[in-house]
Homo-oligomer: A and B are copies of this chain.
Amino acid sequence: MADLISELRAGLPDGAVLTDPDLLRGHQRDEADLVPFGLPAVVVRPRTTADVVTVLRAAARAGVPVVPQGARTGLAGAANAVDGAVVLSTVAMDRIVEIDPVNRFAVVQPGVVNAALAGAVAAVGLRYPPDPGSWESSTIGGNVATNAGGMCCVKYGVTAEYVLGLEVVLASGEVLRTGRRTAKGVAGYDLTKLFVGSEGTLGVITEVTVGLRPAADAALTLIALFPTTAAAGDAVAAISSGGFAPSLLELLDQTHLRAIEALRPMGLRTDAKALLLASVDTGSRAPDDLAALEAVCASAGALEVFAATDAVEAAELLRARRLAHPAMERFAAETYPDGSGGLIIDDIAVPRTALAAMLDGIEKIAAEYALPIGVVGHAGDGNLHPNIVVDRHDPDSVARGRAAFDEIMRIGLELGGTCTGEHGVGLLKKDWLAREIGPVGMAVHRSIKAALDPGGLLNPGKIL
């Protein structure tokens, strides 16, 4: 290991090789709960593709695992270190290489923060739509490695849909370029999409070419409050089967509603069992579309529908959604007043028609395991995030949380869903991936991993 560290210091710029114990401890894990993490032997912060080649070649010669990390905002443990590994942090690869407004693409290093890219392309009248909850701090490299989602997906799709091409350093240290800069292209296997969402297990992404879109019109927004989750589910189904293309369709359950009202009173009816938040952004057509969405919510039995009449009111409504996580964190803290309350955040996607059944199932699980579970999610995609409130100081509470988490997965798969809608597999969902895709699917995964990383040194133990 000392040899490897010397080799890294010799081959990388000053300050790029970190062995300070505090820094090593600061690079052990992402934000996932319930999963293990180790202590890296060294953290490297390359600046260039050539630096990454140096790291991977040296690690391959030494037979030492390499764990790529972005901003460590992930929620599945995909960036968690293993003991003795080289952690390869991309945060210093933060250069926007090129923005081409006519061909509508941008080329960035992986450490560019999502918000920095979004801001830079907005300055030339364009838009990079993917908007994971972590967008103000997470990196494009991490977004690509986990195929991050967000609130825009119901209309604009997930990260994968915006990745035109990649530069990837393979386990061997060879540099692979995938994809293209053209709008279309079908030359060979889609290696780009193979690396998107592969969570650092097949190569280290060193450059990303993303497609851009025209800036969207300012959105019009409404909230609707429902007496039952079934009624909210009906409204989502009616919206999805109608001719609508909402640019946002989010759900908050009663637990979230009450937590948000407790954190910051907004006059929301806390007797409602579910709140839907919907936006439309299609210019001059938007008012008609919003009125139609209002009517759909009313006929699905909404207690109340409130449409924002201007951008200020719309921002106010979106604030409720943005407060969901801090509100639940405060709720957890207050549920266990010794400060030991915590959240286990899950991520599941089901067909939209199964939303109400999934919400009912989660409510039953909460009762069965005697744990509060709040649900927030991207209803338009059938993608829910159950937040299980546990007492971290009580092993029994944590064990019940874990069991409730597994039970939610089980019901989700039974309803035709997938074990992860947007957070990824990492360490958290490995068992569930195997259950979801079966032995043939796992065998194909293993054969691809072996083909690209025969030594098994890239982010070992993740996904597979």
Chain A residues close to B by CB (< 8 Å): 100-104, 125, 146-147, 149, 153-154, 158, 160-161, 170, 174-178, 180-191, 193-194, 196-198, 202, 214-215, 237, 240-245, 282-285, 288, 349-353, 378, 380-383, 416-425, 429, 432-433, 436-438, 440-441, 443-445, 447-448, 450-452, 463
Q: For residue A103, which residue of chain B has the nearest CB?
A: B351
Task: Check A441/B183 contact, CB under 8 A, given A190-B194, A447-B452.
Answer: no
User: Which residues from chain B contact A245 at a C-beta distance below 8 Å?
Assistant: 214
Q: Write the nearest CB–CB distance from A83 to chain B, whole angstroms.
A: 25
**Which 6 A-B residue pairings sit nearest by Cβ, starting from the closest?**
A193-B193, A185-B418, A447-B451, A183-B381, A451-B451, A182-B349
Given A177-B438, A215-B243; 11 other pairs, CB 8 A cutoff: A100-B351, A102-B240, A103-B353, A182-B383, A184-B378, A186-B418, A189-B198, A190-B196, A282-B282, A284-B288, A285-B285
Q: For residue A237, which residue of chain B has the nearest CB?
A: B102
Is there contact, CB below 8 Å, between B189 and A380?
no
Q: Write the nearest CB–CB distance from A333 to chain B, whole angstroms.
A: 30
Is there contact, CB below 8 Å, between A441 and B125?
no
Is there contact, CB below 8 Å, between B184 and A382?
yes
Tell me which of B160, B184, B188, B418 contacts A149 (CB under 8 A): B184
User: Which residues from chain B contact A189 at a C-beta distance below 8 Å?
Assistant: 194, 197-198, 202, 445, 448, 463
Tell me which of B154, B161, B419, B444 contacts A176 (CB under 8 A): B444
26 CB contacts below 8 A, A to B, read A102-B352, A125-B243, A153-B183, A158-B186, A170-B440, A175-B440, A176-B440, A177-B437, A177-B438, A182-B351, A182-B421, A184-B381, A184-B382, A184-B422, A185-B349, A186-B420, A186-B421, A189-B202, A190-B193, A190-B197, A193-B194, A214-B244, A215-B243, A284-B288, A447-B452, A450-B451
User: Which residues from chain B contact A198 at a C-beta distance below 8 Å?
Assistant: 189
A290 to B400, CA, bound (A): 59
A419 to B180, CA, bound (A): 10
In this complex, the member of A101, A193, A383, A432 whose beta carbon has the largest number of chain B beta carbons within 10 angstroms is A193
Tell me which of B160, B182, B244, B381 contacts A381 (CB under 8 A): B182
Q: For residue A284, which residue of chain B has the nearest CB?
A: B285
A182 to B425, CA, bound (A): 16
Q: For residue A429, which residue of chain B has the nearest CB?
A: B187
A421 to B149, CA, bound (A): 27
Tell me which of B125, B184, B378, B432 contacts A383 (CB under 8 A): B184
Is there contact, CB below 8 Å, between B418 and A182?
yes
Q: Write the nearest CB–CB distance from A68 to chain B, whole angstroms.
A: 16
Tell me which of B160, B187, B418, B423 contacts A180 (CB under 8 A): B418
Is there contact, CB below 8 Å, between A183 and B419?
no
Tell me which of B104, B154, B184, B419 contacts A421 (CB under 8 A): B184
A180 to B378, CA, bound (A): 17
A444 to B191, CA, bound (A): 9
User: Which residues from chain B contact A433 at a C-beta distance below 8 Å?
Assistant: 187-188
Task: Check A184/B197 contact, CB under 8 A, given A241-B101, A242-B214, A243-B214.
Answer: no
Q: Write the nearest CB–CB distance from A371 to chain B, whole angstroms.
A: 25
Q: For residue A239, which residue of chain B has the nearest CB?
A: B102
Q: Write the nearest CB–CB distance from A212 to chain B, whole angstroms.
A: 10
User: Which residues from chain B contact A440 at a C-beta distance below 8 Å?
Assistant: 170, 174-177
Tell me which of B214, B425, B452 contacts A188 (CB under 8 A): B425
User: Which residues from chain B contact A421 at a C-beta distance below 8 Å?
Assistant: 182, 184-186
Task: Check A349/B424 contact, CB under 8 A, given A189-B445, A197-B190.
Answer: no
Is there contact, CB below 8 Å, between A184 and B444?
no
Q: For residue A192, which residue of chain B has the nearest CB?
A: B193
A139 to B147, CA, bound (A): 30
Is there contact, CB below 8 Å, between A441 and B188?
yes
Is there contact, CB below 8 Å, between A186 and B423?
yes
User: Which residues from chain B contact A147 at a C-beta distance below 8 Å?
Assistant: 186, 190
Q: For residue A464, which residue of chain B has the nearest CB?
A: B188
Tell me which of B183, B350, B353, B438 contacts A349 (CB under 8 A): B183
A414 to B161, CA, bound (A): 26
